[in-house]
Chains A and B, each alone.
Chain A
Amino acid sequence: MERLIEILQEINDGVDYETCTTLIDERYLDSLAIISLVAAIEEEFDVQIPTVEIVPENFNSAKALWNLIERLQEEG
Chain B
Amino acid sequence: MTYTDPVFLCAFLPIVILIYNVLPQKHRWGVLLVSSYLFFWSISSKLIIYLLITTGIMYVAGQWINKVQGERDLKLKEIEKEHKKEIKAKYNKKTKSIAVLSTILLLSMLIVLKYSNFLGTNINSLFGFLKIPVKLAIPKFLMPIGISFYTLQAISYLVDVYKEKIKADKNLGRLALFISFFPQIMEGPICRYSDTAEDLYNGKKTTYTSLTFGTQRILFGMMKKLLIVDRINPVIIEIFDHYPNYDGGIVAIGMVLYTLQLYMDFSGVMDIVIGIAEIFGVKMPENFKQPFFSKTISEFWTRWHITLGTWFRDYIYYPVSLTQKCRDITAKARKKIGNYYGPLIASIIALFCVWACNGLWHGDAWSFIFFGMYHFVLITIERLTEPPVKKLLEKTKINSDAFPYRLMQMIRTTILVFIGELFFRAKGLKSGLNMFGKMVFNFSFAQFGKVFEMGIDVQDIVLVGVVVVAITIISILKEKKIDIRQSIANKNVFIRWTLYYLLIVAIILFGTYGIGIVHLDPIYANF
Contact = CB atoms under 8 A, between A and B. Distances in A.
Interface of A: 10-11, 27, 30-32, 34-36, 38-40, 42-43, 49, 51-52, 54-55
A36 B343 contact: yes
B313 A31 contact: yes
Contact of B330 (A10, A31, A35, A55): A35
A27 B299 contact: yes
Contacts of B519: none
B343 A39 contact: yes
B339 A54 contact: no
Q: Which 7 A-B pairs have the closest CB atoms?
A: A52-B163, A36-B343, A35-B343, A39-B330, A32-B347, A51-B322, A51-B318
A54 B163 CA distance: 11
B347 A31 contact: yes
7 contacts: A31-B347, A34-B318, A39-B331, A40-B334, A42-B331, A43-B334, A55-B165
Contacts of A40: 334, 339
A54 B322 CA distance: 10
Contacts of B330: 35, 39
Contacts, number: 52
A74 to B, nearest CB: 13
B298 interface: yes
B42 to A, nearest CB: 38
Contacts of B233: none
A50 to B, nearest CB: 8
Interface SS majority for chain B: helix
Contacts of B340: 36
Contacts of B334: 36, 39-40, 43
A42 B327 contact: yes
Contacts of A39: 327, 330-331, 334, 339, 342-343
A64 B327 CA distance: 23
A32 B318 contact: no
B317 interface: yes
Nearest to A52: B163
A31 B1 CA distance: 39
Interface residues of B, number: 25
Nearest to B401: A14
B437 interface: no
B362 interface: no
Contacts of A36: 334, 339-340, 342-343
A66 B519 CA distance: 54
Nearest to A11: B339
A36 B346 CA distance: 10
A32 B165 contact: no
Interface of B: 163-165, 298-299, 302, 313-314, 317-319, 321-322, 327, 330-331, 334, 339-340, 342-344, 346-347, 383
A35 B347 contact: yes
Nearest to B302: A27
A52 B347 contact: no
A27 B298 CA distance: 11
A30 B302 CA distance: 10
Given A36-B343, A39-B334, A39-B342, A52 B322 contact: no
Nearest to A33: B343
A55 B441 CA distance: 47
Given A43-B331, A51-B322, A10 B339 contact: yes
B124 to A, nearest CB: 38
Nearest to B354: A31
Given A31-B317, A32-B347, 6 more contacts: A10-B339, A32-B383, A35-B343, A36-B339, A54-B318, A54-B322
A52 B315 CA distance: 10
B346 A35 contact: yes
A52 B343 contact: no
Give the residue among B163, B313, B321 with the most A Cβ atoms within 10 A: B321
A50 B201 CA distance: 31
Given A11-B339, A31-B313, A52-B164, A38 B347 contact: no
A34 B321 CA distance: 10
Contacts of B346: 35
Contact of A32 (B164, B322, B343): B343
A39 B344 CA distance: 11
A32 B331 CA distance: 14
Contacts of A51: 163, 318-319, 322
A15 to B, nearest CB: 13
Nearest to A10: B339
A52 B344 contact: no
A43 B333 CA distance: 13
Nearest to B309: A31
A55 B160 CA distance: 12
A32 B344 contact: yes
Give the residue among A30, A35, A38, A40 with the most B Cβ atoms within 10 A: A35
